[in-house]
Structure 1
Amino acid sequence: MPKKSISHPYAEHLSFERLMLLIATLLKNPGIGSPDLINVNYDKQHDSLTQVRLSLQQLAVECKIELPEDYPAIATLRKDLKTLRRYGILERRMYRWGYYLGTGAMSQTELKVAFNALASQAKFQGDPQLRRICEILSKRLRGLDMELQGKFFYPVRQHLNRAIVYTDPEEMAAQGENRNTLFHQLPVLETAISQGQAIEISRASDLYGNNRIGLLQIVPLQLIYHDIAWYLLYENYENGHLAIGRLNRFKNYCKLLNNGQGRGLEAQKNSLNKAYQLLENGWGLYLGEPPEQQLELQEQLEFLTVKVRFFPPVTAFIQEGELRHPKQKIILGSKNETTGNPSYLDYLITLPPRSIDEFSLWIYRYMHKAQVISPPHLVEKHHQAADALLSQYATPLQDT
């Protein structure tokens, strides 16, 4: 009686290489086979394996692996996919929106947290790039969400800070609200950031009355979302001055300088570290004018110590913010005999002069529950602001 063969179906060299190429193809092209990638109507049938086959053949050429002509056949690839399912490399479910292997470098729990964060930023911060990524991932991961009975897409965490201006060129076009801002140049801008390329942009408006509009030559460092809008952190190309500007206040214009030659990531990181040193020292996003900024970076600038007294019920909110600023100090006042809580608290902080205006805006939100104690010029400034507010309410409103 002939002995039963125990040869493995992938023992033959060509079969083994085909399987390895298939796995590598799926790893390098997550979502391959999706109708999105081959411009096929979702309601129509499409042959996803044709796309997989073409990519596999291309990868073989790149890896200098010679395959027979018209190899492998689609039917052979279907058998290989069954093998991958058998060993748990692919899940035992449909991959209507393209093949991908597992969750890459993340566990399923980590992927869910990451997806929630991406979806939140795409929705509320209006990030156009993330919107498109989330649309693709939502389709690609739909099978996983069904398997988990809807738990994967449920937004356990959310960032509700919402952009107050249009940020997505596609959304602008769809709604007929084109703003011609720097948001239209994000691909060029992001490349310039990652390579340290000098660019020329144009400021369209200056809402602070300094008449700083027109062309500006910079090296962009980072895109920042803060509170209600997207900002650009940049370094002046001529003098190295670091500044932050609202993206929507720049025109739809971005020109590469120096033939697109970048200075590299090391120089970018050095400038970024300086900018974050300034942000940590100060309050808000204003980084100061060149002379005082240089003194501050050289640790030769004299800072101001500000003291503000807060009264109940605001005291509880101020006391709660233990990490509001790295250089703050909170001193509790005497206890109220009735409530047992502090009758006031003093908030002390040392800031560069450039940050006083933005710090004042934070104090204003607490109205009569906050009183500036020092320095004297800031006491006077807040006193005048209170008088101006009182005067405004004392003047009858005219009918419009």
Structure 2
Amino acid sequence: MPETGLRCHLLIGPPASGKTTLARALAPLLTGPGEAPALVLSTDAIRAEVFGDAAVQGPWSVIEQLLHERLRAAVADGIPVIVDATHARRPWRLALTQALALPAPVEWVGWWLFTPLATCLEWNQRRQRLVPEAVIKELAAALADPHFGPSRAEGFAAVVALVPSHHASLEPVLAEELARLDQRIRSATNRERQVQRHGYSRLLDLERLLYLLRLLSRFPDLAANDPVTVAELEAIVSPLPEGDLADRAAALLRRLHGECYGDAAALRVDLAWLERQGFTAAQPVEAPIQLAPVPAAAGGVNGGLPPLGDAPVFVRVFTLLRHVLQQPFDRQAGSDLPGHLIQAMEEIPGAYLPGEAASLRKDLEKLLTPYGFRVRNDNVRHGYALGTAVLSAPRLREIHGVVKLAAGRLGDPSAQDLLIELDERLRWGGISPEASPPVRTYANHSVVDAALVRLDSLAADRHGYRQAEAIETAILEHRRVVLERYSSGASFPDSPVGELRVWPLQLIFHTIGWYLLYEEDAVAHPHGLIRTERLDRLALRRSESRNRRSDEAHQQAVERAGRLLHLSGGIYCGDDLGEQLALAGASAKTRTRHLVTLRFSCQGWAFAFIREGVLRFPIEHTRFSRPLPGDSWWRHPKAPHGLEPNPAGDSHPYPVELDLPPWTVRRDADLRTWLLGFAGGVRIEAPAALREEHQAKAHAILDAYGPVEVASPAGPPEETEPPVRFFPNRLRRG
């Protein structure tokens, strides 16, 4: 037994690499004459004992519990132990060398079997219990990982590499390795005496901290506040973990990286340390990294340390990591990136010195890429950004202002929650959203008060009735939903009523409110009618999780709807599926056969407004008048001014032509509101039906005011009807 305490042994190698044979040869060599051989703990033997057959892959927790109990008992009795299992992944090794509390100090030795893969596959065929070849190859690849393969830094006093297939007999080779082991461990331990240890010197503690930082960079606060984040987190752990931040992080890290990283108590300490060092601050921090205290001795003895186990290395690397987390795109065009980063951190004690660019490059390579802070194989000239925290504090204030306007003036039901979360996060980071007034605002606003609509409406914003979120989820997951259009809601002649079974496509803000763009579910047909309906007129009755369609089908429907909206110049797409398909699927050349030309002529003042809005309708289907002789107004050479003006003396000399879908000309309310807004400034010429409708509306407006008074030659006008009553302004006082 070594002077430092009990020595135990961990066998490492893929299945069929010769571990059990090595264990049998090694066990009698670890004790003196007359003493019982070392205890071999085999996970396969425990499986056979518990489940009746070593091939039965029962719950690992049962196997692990028995393994740990017997290991603790042997250590308590001073019996050396050989653990016979693959230990192909780092978390499996750390679970014993650093995570497991034992009743006495243990010096761990790793025996890494470098058996060639071809030999493992050949030996596997001779075994009574065959291991699938894919499993052998996967575990062999894990052991070959240059960053996460076995190393002394995992807490081993030594790692001995052997190739069993190179030796006819293992006993002489093992005896020779054991004879050299004490000197080998002593030399390694002496080399590490100059290392300045700290609270994260152990590899397990260091990696837990790095994995925690990476997790928080993807999911700040681990909060599932939107459907996409919920789906991503549920893909890791479902149902989502509960408890405080440390509890939730523990559940996620256990699933992502291994059980040994899921110590909630240790993670609470990690979170507190990160906060004290400024990692969670929104503003750049220039305070030096303060080392965590060295914990009380735990686990094994004489175990190796990772490079960051030395305090100066840890401080400089975590100073760099904090910098790139807070300023991920900090770079200067034309400059050497490592040199620029060194200069940016030069005022921080413990950071890189001017001549340490090579060290910085090496640390970046060993830190950012292996632990997920930089995409593998990415060009390092892109910088070392995390993809989060990419905006400065002023730009974040601007975004807050835009979201606030969307939540307030536009009444966006989804922006309400986003605004609350954004406001909270900015204040956490010490950024006051009200530090300066917004530089932009919206004149448009929603006419719908989300607090006054029906409780089950899609537009309601009251807690517990956020149906808009359910619609967003249905859109993202391509689900079919069942809606109800309120019979009491305002409607047009072709508005659907009652229950609607639809595929939701997008949420759209248009002029006065939020609308749902959807495709009707056309049973047994590939396409349904594209429609829009205002959210406050709809209620979600059911989201059908089993009825989903492919990404391709959803994308095609969205693209078809987009073409229809573009052609229409608004959100009304008619009520005829045949017309929609004829326009949405036609080529640009054949599409003109299905469009209807609206022609009207304008007075000068009206044309001045109309010609500025070249994108109100598709510019490729828009034609404006050329200027009259003597006109001095400016026009862009690419603007669609190609029509000849009307003959001289015409009261409306400027013609305009728009090629529009037939449904837009027949019934679109926005088109009519726009034309009527110019009153007598426009004269509709074609189609005749729209001209007659325009005239009828003008007469109806006049009729609303009663007969027109006609002046009499003999005196003042005669009143044929009672005078119009003007009501006093109730807002005026006195």
Q: Does 1:61 align with 2:344?
A: no
> Shift of residue 143 of structure 1?
5.2
> 1-side partners of 2:633 and 2:271: how far apart?
75
Matching residue's letter, 1:60? L
Q: Does 1:364 align with 2:676?
A: yes
Does 1:221 find its partner at 2:486? Answer: no
The offset of 1:102, in angstroms, is 3.9
- 2:212 is paired with a residue of what secondary structure? helix
Q: 2:578 aligns with which of 261, 269, 291?
A: 291
**Does the aligned pair in 2 maintain the 1:120–1:160 contact within 8 Å?**
no
Matches within 5 A, 1:124-203: 124-142=409-427, 144=429, 146=431, 150-151=435-436, 154-167=437-450, 171-172=451-452, 178-183=454-459, 184=465, 185-203=467-485
Give, in angstroms, the shift of residue 318 of structure 1: 1.4
Q: Does 1:30 align with 2:223?
A: no
Q: 1:179 to 1:347 in 2, by over 3 A?
A: farther
- Cα pair 1:124 1:162 within 8 Å, conserved: yes
* 3-state secondary structure, aligned to 1:278: helix
Q: Which residue of 1 aligns with 2:595?
A: 303
Q: Which runs of 5+ in 1 are unaligned?
A: 34-49, 94-100
Letter in 1 for 2:448: V
Report the equivalent of 1:41.
none
AA matched with 1:120: L
Q: Deviations over 1:201-225 (max 9, x none)?
A: 1111352134731112111111111
How many equivalent residue pairs? 363
- Deviation, 1:80, is 4.2
Residue 21 of structure 1 corresponds to: 211
Taking the aligned partners of 2:510 and 2:203, their CA distance within structure 1 comes to 56
What is the CA distance between 1:262 and its match in structure 2? 0.8
Distance 1:126 1:88, change over 3 A: closer
Could you give the per-residue CA deviations for residues 19-40 of structure 1, whole angstroms, max 9, x where no partner exists? 203313432442469xxxxxxx
CA pair 144-329 structure 1, distance change in 2 beyond 3 A = farther
Cα offset for 1:242? Answer: 1.1
Secondary structure in 2 aligned to 1:254? strand
1:328 matches 2:640: no
SS in 2 for 1:382: helix
Q: Which residue of 2 aligns with 1:352?
A: 661
Amino acid at match of 2:680: H
Q: 1:114 to 1:15 in 2, by over 3 A?
A: same
**Distance in 1 between the 2:679 and 2:269 partners?**
74
SS of residue matched to 1:394: coil
Cα drift, residue 14 of structure 1 = 2.6
Higher relative contact order (CA 8 A, sep 6+): 1
Distance 1:26 1:68, change over 3 A: closer
Shift in Å at residue 367 of structure 1? Answer: 0.5
Contact 1:31 1:140 in 2 (8 A): no
* Alpha-carbon offset, residue 192 of structure 1: 1.6
Partner SS state of residue 569, structure 2:
coil
1:278, CA displacement in angstroms? 1.0
Q: 1:249 aligns with which of 527, 537, 544?
A: 537
- 1:382 and 2:694 equivalent? yes
User: Which residue matches 1:264?
Assistant: 550
Distance 1:382 1:148 in 2: 49
2:439 aligned counterpart, secondary structure = coil
Q: Please say which structure displays the higher CA radius of gyration.
A: 2
Per the TM alignment, residue 191 of structure 1 is displaced from its structure 2 partner at its CA by 1.8
- Report which stretch shifted further, 197-206 or 233-242: 197-206
Change over 3 Å in CA distance of 1:64–1:292 after alignment to 2 = same
* CA deviation after TM superposition for structure 1 residue 373, in Å: 2.7
Specify the code of the residue in structure 2 equivalent to 1:21: Y
Q: Deviations over 1:110-159 (max 9, x none)?
A: 544433322211111212321122112112102556479814xx422223
Which residue of 234, 246, 262 corresponds with 2:518? Answer: 234
Match of 2:624, SS state, is strand
Q: Which ranges of structure 2 fall in alignment gaps of 5 or more residues?
A: 1-191, 224-242, 288-324, 328-387, 460-464, 635-644, 646-651, 708-720, 728-734
Query: Does the aligned pair in 1 maintain the 2:413–2:468 contact within 8 Å?
Result: no
Question: Normalising by structure 1, what TM-score?
Answer: 0.77
Residue pair 1:305, 1:349 contacting (<8 A) in 2 also: yes
* Percent identity (aligned): 24
Query: What amino acid is aligned across from residue 617 of structure 2 in structure 1?
Result: H
